[in-house]
Amino acid sequence: MAAAFAEAGAAVTLAARSGHEIASVAEAIGRSGGQAEAAALDVSDLDAVTRFFDERPAFHVLVNNAGTNRPKPMINVSEADYDAVLDLNVKSAFFVAQACVRQMLAARIEGGSLIHIGSQMGHVGGPNRSLYCASKWALEGMSKSFALDLAPYGIRSNTIAPTFIETPMTRPFFEDTAFKASVLDKIKLGRIGRVEDLMGAAVFLASDASSLMTGTSLVVDGGWTAE
């Protein structure tokens, strides 16, 4: 998504705890002629989040993309599991958006766009996904409320709800052939998602092409939720 924004002409800031990974992405964007910087940030540290936004000019677009999952049957979920998933997927997303919006308002940014990376699991249920579903359904409701609060300022809030996307974090799950088969059975287009599948959706929601869209979700799921 960062690469897609840079290709569209945006100056991009990548933020994550794993500074070396985003630094390599920023360097690759730069080699391709784009503008990008990398910043180490733990979004679970809310003081650090505030400093991060205070130290930079206001952004026009925010992609809320930090997330985690602890898949297990609900009867096995611990309080630590609950806190880990809900704190990152919901609490951090809320306060990152809040800090970003405060700077947008102070700078009188027009046409700001908040893009929260949700999931198809924010629209349906799934076995062993009670925490993840809880967090992604919460994100959908949170974004809708943001949309109503921020509409008077011309700031939009939407989600992208992908199916399973192959990334370094999800790849180990697909080593379980039975699990992979169950996923492919649900994805009617017959393949696991790729990160490139989200590039168009992200650019669309960041751009004036979606200027009348707020409080809704782009579901990029290969037909999973169509049944």
The pLDDT value recorded for residue 173 is 86
Closest CA to 94 of 58, 43, 51, 128: 43
Q: Residue 117 phi/psi, 5° resolution?
A: -85, 105
| Per-position pLDDT tens, the chain of length 227 | 999 999 999 999 999 998 888 999 999 999 999 999 999 999 999 999 999 999 999 999 999 999 999 999 999 999 999 999 999 999 999 999 999 999 999 999 989 999 999 999 999 999 999 999 999 999 999 999 999 999 999 999 999 999 999 988 888 889 999 999 999 999 999 999 999 999 999 999 999 999 999 999 999 999 999 98
Domain count of the fold of the chain: 2
Residues paired with residue 161 on neighbouring β-strands, in sequence order: 219
Residues 30 and 68 in one domain: no
DSSP-assigned letters across all residues of 155-217: -EEEEEEE--B--TTTGGGGGSHHHHHHHHHH-TTSS-B-GGGGHHHHHHHHSGGGTT--S-E
Residues 137 and 159 in one domain: yes
Residues 130 and 184 in one domain: yes
Residues 200 and 149 in one domain: yes
Give the CATH number for residue 71: 3.40.50.720
- Can you give the residue range of the structural domain that contains 87? 43-226
Residues 62 and 162 in one domain: yes
Residues 215 and 112 in one domain: yes
Q: What is the pTM of this model?
A: 0.95
Handedness of CA 87, 166, 226, 182 (dihedral sign): negative
Asked whether the beta carbons of 64 and 114 are under 8 A apart, the reply is: yes
The pLDDT value recorded for residue 19 is 82
Catalytic residue among 52, 53, 59, 132: 132
Angle among Cα 145, 56, 90 to the nearest 5 degrees reads 30
* 132 catalytic residue (yes or no): yes
Residues 132 and 178 in one domain: yes
Handedness of CA 135, 221, 14, 149 (dihedral sign): negative
Asked whether the beta carbons of 222 and 23 are under 8 A apart, the reply is: no
Residue with tokens 């308002």: 105
Residues 123 and 155 in one domain: yes
Residues 29 and 96 in one domain: no
Q: Which amino acid is at 225?
A: T
Residues 117 and 75 in one domain: yes
Residues 66 and 154 in one domain: yes
DSSP-assigned letters across all residues of the chain: -HHHHHHTT-EEEEEES-HHHHHHHHHHHHHTT-EEEEEE--TT-HHHHHHHHHTSPPPSEEEE---------GGG--HHHHHHHHIIIIIIHHHHHHHHHHHHHHTT-SS-EEEEE--GGGTS--TT-HHHHHHHHHHHHHHHHHHHHHGGGT-EEEEEEE--B--TTTGGGGGSHHHHHHHHHH-TTSS-B-GGGGHHHHHHHHSGGGTT--S-EEEESTTGGG-
Residues 16 and 128 in one domain: no
